[in-house]
């Protein structure tokens, strides 16, 4: 295991950092002062140093950096400080491997350390794989019924953006039944699955790394499991999803999470299940996804079920080829239908239980979308933004800002995410943004009429802006209405209208691809904006 020397004079902070490192598969060594740290360096028993700068004074940290470099010029050295300017203004700034400002996200801290330990990381991966090849969790079920599991896992050495290091596939089985699977990537995270109907009594859940479907450079570490019995109807009817056959072994279009919404129509109350995939290899292009949906994941409703008074399915629909809704006529395991995507844009069909070697049983999140777009589910699970962005990078779907390369987009962190509640008739809406010092406006549709948003309700879009743009750089916000009718030889010049009824959440992704703070928009009228096709409204932000 790589040995990380943690130098911190605050005992609580030192303990927390050591715990984070050890839970991520490292060996943490603690030093409360410079003398303790230099003793480890002199003994050559540390592979990397993670140190505070104020020990307690900045001069103490700077002296320690100088002393370490006098002993070992190549030892990776990471400075973690709330005042990085103490180092940046010093001649010793170039003597450290990396500087991170407190507070720092755990995943960023671990990525920084791992990046400095390429050879040792390989040893960590091998050791982690050996340690986690098979881990069993005995548990008891007091009364027969649906059981949920939460698994805390990480994939040491993984990076979804890098071929050969994408992640590890965890195979999860209960009492030697057919396995279900989870794609594990990145630092420690809790994964949620349903185990189906289990009888009362003792059971054993086993987690194994499935080498054939794991990246060679990614390990698997399993930290713990928690079990819970569920009596919810939306759990009992959640679909089992098999992996699309042309994605096997390719780390693409992977199911990230699922959610369920409740609805009501003339046939009664229903449950609707939606899956969020990392991307879609077919259907809407990456550029169009950003303009019309405000994200690059593929979010697809796959199953809708109406229940009778006894809680049994009385009517069902699935979304299949061509976005057609057809009744589900396949097998069920308990009340769970078995579905598999059969198109590159993840439309589904009923499937035999063994139709694909990978099987996902993701616990759906119960979502209320009455006050926002469905992408709000991703906001509550920010890892979805990071993985989706990294998949674009690995698949060559990114371009430099300010260039045109077909359907490619620039770095997702260059885009402003905008949520609106709209109502359109024979027309579509795009969002306009103006930056400080610029006279021009930038549109979400990039000049393409087909990328104006035609649907009504809560929607999201994104506007591409120069790298490094922040909320303080925004000076104008607007919306434009465009007719979606062919006006050739029609007597009425403008035959569509749009209404922007409300503005929802607006934000940038931060450097770690997580949703940033909400950007307020002041001055939007209570009655919203009512526009005829060809009209636009704007308001000043500063």
Residue 402, Ramachandran bin (φ over 0: left; ψ between -120 and 50: alpha; else beta): left
Q: Say if CB 453 and CB 463 are below 8 A apart.
A: no
Structure tokens at 264: 């009501």
For the domain covering 411-540, report its CATH number.
Answer: 2.60.60
Band (537; pLDDT cuts 50, 70, 90): very high
What are 452-511's pLDDT values in tens digits? 999 999 999 999 999 999 999 999 999 999 988 765 555 555 578 999 999 999 999 999
Range(s) of the chain covered by CATH 3.40.50.2300: 3-116
Higher pLDDT, 60 or 542: 60
Range(s) of the chain covered by CATH 2.60.60: 411-540
Which pLDDT score, from 0 to 100, does residue 2 have?
Answer: 78
Which pLDDT score, from 0 to 100, does residue 125 have?
Answer: 39
Band (48; pLDDT cuts 50, 70, 90): very high
Q: Is the pLDDT of residue 442 over 90?
A: yes
Residues of the chain with pLDDT > 70, as a percent, come to: 95
If you average pLDDT over residues 348-354, what whole number do you get? 95
Which pLDDT score, from 0 to 100, does residue 12 have?
Answer: 84
Closest listed residue to residue 90, CA positions, set 99, 516, 15: 99
Q: What angle do CA 222, 224, 230 make, to 5 degrees?
A: 125
Which pLDDT score, from 0 to 100, does residue 469 have?
Answer: 97
If you average pLDDT over residues 327-342, what whole number do you get? 97
* CA separation for the pair 166, 4 (Å, rounded): 24
Distance set, CA 58 to CA 31, 54, 201 (Å): 17, 4, 59
Strand, helix or coil at 373?
coil
Q: Where are the alpha helices (DSSP H) in 248-311?
A: 286-293
Higher pLDDT, 122 or 396: 396
If you average pLDDT over residues 280-286, what whole number do you get? 87
What are 142-197's pLDDT values in tens digits? 999 999 999 999 999 999 999 999 999 999 999 988 899 999 999 999 999 999 99
Q: Is the pLDDT of residue 448 over 60?
A: yes
If you average pLDDT over residues 392-406, what whole number do you get? 93
Distance set, CA 119 to CA 25, 107, 203, 220, 510 (Å): 15, 20, 40, 18, 30
* E strands in 53-200: 77-81, 98-101, 134-141, 145-155, 168-174, 180-184, 186-198
Rounded mean pLDDT of the chain?
A: 91
Q: Is the pLDDT of residue 122 over 80?
A: no
Q: Which CATH class is domain 3-116?
A: alpha beta
Look at 47-56, 79-88, 488-497 and tell me which has the smallest mean pLDDT: 488-497
Which pLDDT score, from 0 to 100, does residue 126 have?
Answer: 40
Q: Is the pLDDT of residue 45 over 90?
A: no
Q: What angle do CA 161, 412, 371 make, to 5 degrees?
A: 120
If you average pLDDT over residues 383-389, what whole number do you get? 97
User: Residue 21, CB half-sphere, CA atoms under 13 Å: how many?
Assistant: 24
If you average pLDDT over residues 523-538, what whole number do you get? 95
Q: Say if CB 513 and CB 525 are below 8 A apart.
A: no
Band (320; pLDDT cuts 50, 70, 90): very high
Q: Is the pLDDT of residue 404 over 70?
A: yes
Which pLDDT score, from 0 to 100, does residue 491 have?
Answer: 59
Strand, helix or coil at 322?
helix
What are 226-274's pLDDT values in tens digits? 999 999 999 999 999 999 999 999 999 999 999 999 999 999 999 999 9
Q: Is the pLDDT of residue 1 over 80?
A: no
Residue 446, Ramachandran bin (φ over 0: left; ψ between -120 and 50: alpha; else beta): left
Surface-to-core class of residue 88, CB atoms within 10 Å of its CB (0-12 exposed, 13-18 middle, 19+ buried) = exposed
**What is the Rg, in whole angstroms, of the alpha carbon atoms belonging to the chain?**
26
Predicted TM-score (pTM) of the model is 0.76
Band (128; pLDDT cuts 50, 70, 90): very low
Which pLDDT score, from 0 to 100, does residue 20 have?
Answer: 86
Give buried/exposed letters for 287-319 (b at 16+ CB in 10 A, else e).
Answer: bbbbbbbbbbbbbbbbbbbbbeeeeeeeebbbb
Which pLDDT score, from 0 to 100, does residue 133 have?
Answer: 53
């Amino acid at each position: 295991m790589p040995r990380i020397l943690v130098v911190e004079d605050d005992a609580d902070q030192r303990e927390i950092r050591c715990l984070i490192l050890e839970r991520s598969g490292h060996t943490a060594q603690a030093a409360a002062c410079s003398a303790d740290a230099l003793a480890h360096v002199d003994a050559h028993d540390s592979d990397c140093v993670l140190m505070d700068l104020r020990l307690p004074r900045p001069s103490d940290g700077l002296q320690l950096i100088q002393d370490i470099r006098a002993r070992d010029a190549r030892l990776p050295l990471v400075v973690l400080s709330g005042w990085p300017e103490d180092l940046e203004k010093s001649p010793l700034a170039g003597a450290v491997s990396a500087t991170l400002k407190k507070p720092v996200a755990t995943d960023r801290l671990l990525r920084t350390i791992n990046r400095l330990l390429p050879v040792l990381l390989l040893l960590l991966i091998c050791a982690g794989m050996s340690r986690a090849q098979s881990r069993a969790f005995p548990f008891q079920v007091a009364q027969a019924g649906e059981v949920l599991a939460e698994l805390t896992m990480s994939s040491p050495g993984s990076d979804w953006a890098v071929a050969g290091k994408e992640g590890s596939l965890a195979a999860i089985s209960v009492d030697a039944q057919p396995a279900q699977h989870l794609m594990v990537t990145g630092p420690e995270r809790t994964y949620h699955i349903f185990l189906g109907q289990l009888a009362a009594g003792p059971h054993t859940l086993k987690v194994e790394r499935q080498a054939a479907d794991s990246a060679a450079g990614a390990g698997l570490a399993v930290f713990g499991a928690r079990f819970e019995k569920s009596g919810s109807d939306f759990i009992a009817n959640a679909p089992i999803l098999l992996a699309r056959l042309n994605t096997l072994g390719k780390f693409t279009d992977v199911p990230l999470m699922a959610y369920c919404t409740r609805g009501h129509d003339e046939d009664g109350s229903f449950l609707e299940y939606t899956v969020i995939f990392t991307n879609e290899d077919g259907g809407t292009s990456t550029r169009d996804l950003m303009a019309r949906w405000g994200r690059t994941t593929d979010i697809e409703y796959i199953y809708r079920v109406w229940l009778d008074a006894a809680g049994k399915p009385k009517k069902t629909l699935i979304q299949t080829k061509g976005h057609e809704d057809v009744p589900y006529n396949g097998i069920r395991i308990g009340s769970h239908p078995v579905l598999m995507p059969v198109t590159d844009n993840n439309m589904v069909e009923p499937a035999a239980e063994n139709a694909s070697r990978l099987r996902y049983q993701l616990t759906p999140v119960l979502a209320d979308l009455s006050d926002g777009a469905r992408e709000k589910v991703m906001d509550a699970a920010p890892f979805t933004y990071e993985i989706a962005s990294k998949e674009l990078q690995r698949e060559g779907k990114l371009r430099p800002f300010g260039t045109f390369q077909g359907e490619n987009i620039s770095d997702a962190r260059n885009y402003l995410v905008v949520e609106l509640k709209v109502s359109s008739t024979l027309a579509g809406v795009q969002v306009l943004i103006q930056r400080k010092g610029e006279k021009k406006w930038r549109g979400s549709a990039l000049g393409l009429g087909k990328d104006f948003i035609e649907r009504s309700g809560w929607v999201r879009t994104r506007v591409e802006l120069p790298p490094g743009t922040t909320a303080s750089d925004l000076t104008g916000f607007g919306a434009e209405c465009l007719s979606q009718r062919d006006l050739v030889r029609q007597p009425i010049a403008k035959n569509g209208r749009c209404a922007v009824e409300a503005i929802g959440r607006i934000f940038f992704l931060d450097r770690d691809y997580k949703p940033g703070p909400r950007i307020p928009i002041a001055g939007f009228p209570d009655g919203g904006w009512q526009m005829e096709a060809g009209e636009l409204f704007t308001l000043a932000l500063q």
